[in-house]
Amino acid sequence: MSYETVIGLETHIQLSTLSKAFCADAAAFGGAPNTHTSIISLAHPGTLPRLNKNAVEYAVKLGLALGCDINRYTTFDRKNYFYADLPKGFQTTQDRAPVCIGGSISLKIDKPVGGRTNPRIRIHHIHLEEDAGKSMHDQSPEHSYIDLNRAGVPLLEIVSEPDLRSPEEVAAYMEEMRRLVRWLGVSDGNMEEGSMRCDVNISIRPQGSTTFGNRCEIKNVNSMRFAKRAIEYEVNRQIGIVEAGGTVEQETRGFDVASGTTYSLREKENAHDYRYFPEPDLPPVVLSEQFLADIHAAMPPLPAELEARMMQTFALPAYDAAQLTQDIVTARFALQLLETASVRNAGNNLNKQIANLLINKLLPWSVSTGVALEACPVPLDHWIAYAELVESGKLSASSAAQRLFPAMLEAPENAPEELATRLNLLQSADNDFLEQLVDEVLARFPDKVAEYRKGKKGLIGMFMGEVMKSSKGKAEPQATTKLLQEKLS
């Protein structure tokens, strides 16, 4: 019997607002424990929440990007449970009328293992809620410590439909979601710092079946690698149970990173266990058409749109387009370069050279120096001229380009061709220059020349290497090959 894996994700995103969801405490990650706390985060009796308008704006922004319907009338609820890191004794969340309903996200899977290349995953809804504090059990043998800096930080929970079918699709979903929230500026999507965490709901069913099996929910998976391992383990565990004639119990499970296994935490709790009820301290939020229109008007073009433009208008390979649309700053800079180059009437090959320059040189430079791309002192025209030098073969792609790049950053006002000439980096297709070198090399290896003429044609590479060496990388490869072939025939 073969089985199909069915997965639905509940993704928590910490919003990058300055202050918390319901008070003015800083929402920033870190800080000395219990310093981002006021009487509201600490739940002193008599304190009242006040909704952060920015958090609502961010929710709407993400909702619009995912094609959700935005609830014009949205309300808050209390989800009651007891835990030491939850001073109020309830989480303020949205149960009845979440801010966003429906929508979807489209994924791209490079090498699907017998699966889909472009699955579209439906979103059930997105709701606003608040984070809890952090308990630390490893600081002392006798005590647990609690840091309430995180208590009350605004979160969005994005609940997908059970539309995912493999660990690859889950990884692609998380990556796409992360790119989108960072792009929109609503979250830093940093999984290590916990700004993005996933609960993974998993079930299996016989291939071809149209009903769902019982699911297990794996809590707080905080990296894509762990998600993959947790899913693989859990799917095998469930198949084992079913094959042995048993039934999978619906429950909440944890993932143990060290052993790569999942373990039972508790029986699945139901909504009534939380005694949800309307939050009496926060009035319903009514979103005006103007509020939505303003957010809509300020939306940047979406990453998938710019990625498609790079492939369609500028003929970049899918891999390059994906690399260049990881963040909006890079994407905008890349498109500015590509557009400027196309005004200069360059061909599509130049676009590929521009992509290479960005991916292999400029982005690593920006990361290692901490200087933003758009703050780079070299004018766009010079980068395009650099790409032209590489594309035309005047500059040998590897060594000479490697040296010209830092020289341009050091002398940003100089045209690259000038710099390359001064540094003696231009390849030469000049026939007299090449002929002299080729003759000299052939004279040095009479035995090899004889072998070549007897049919050992592979030796051409060795002759090329020698000519390159004595030209110090300046011999233009195509002209050199042609000349060698002529002289050896």
Binding site for ligand ADP (CB under 6 A): 6-10, 159-162, 201-203, 212-213, 215
User: How near is the Cβ of 318 to ligand ADP at its closest, in Å?
Assistant: 29
User: How near is the Cβ of 178 to ligand ADP at its closest, in Å?
Assistant: 17
Beta-bridge partners for 266? 252
- The CA-based angle 85-91-92, given to 5 degrees, is 140
**What is the amino acid identity at position 369?**
T
User: How near is the Cβ of 1 to ligand ADP at its closest, in Å?
Assistant: 18
Q: How many CB atoms lie within 10 A of CB 25?
A: 23
Of 273 and 410, which has the nearer Cβ to ligand ADP?
273
- CB closest to ligand ADP, residue no: 8
Of 5 and 323, which has the nearer Cβ to ligand ADP?
5
CA distance 56 to 60: 6
Of 211 and 345, which has the nearer Cβ to ligand ADP?
211
Of 52 and 201, which has the nearer Cβ to ligand ADP?
201
Of 7 and 378, which has the nearer Cβ to ligand ADP?
7
User: How near is the Cβ of 238 to ligand ADP at its closest, in Å?
Assistant: 10
Beta-bridge partners for 145? 136
User: How near is the Cβ of 287 to ligand ADP at its closest, in Å?
Assistant: 24
User: How near is the Cβ of 126 to ligand ADP at its closest, in Å?
Assistant: 12
Of 237 and 487, which has the nearer Cβ to ligand ADP?
237
Of 249, 257, 204, the residue nearest 229 (C-alpha):
257
Of 137 and 272, which has the nearer Cβ to ligand ADP?
272
Pairing state between β 216-221 and 251-256: parallel
Pairing state between β 73-74 and 285-286: antiparallel
CB 295 within 8 A of CB 54: no
Cα–Cα distance list, 75 to 79, 130, 280 (Å): 13, 14, 10
**What is the amino acid identity at position 11?**
T
Of 133 and 213, which has the nearer Cβ to ligand ADP?
213
User: How near is the Cβ of 124 to ligand ADP at its closest, in Å?
Assistant: 6
User: How near is the Cβ of 214 to ligand ADP at its closest, in Å?
Assistant: 7
Q: How many CB atoms lie within 10 A of CB 294?
A: 12
Tell me, rounded to whole angstroms, the distance of Cα 393 from its chain centroid.
Answer: 34
CA distance 146 to 66: 36
Cα–Cα distance list, 381 to 316, 360, 415, 421 (Å): 20, 19, 9, 18
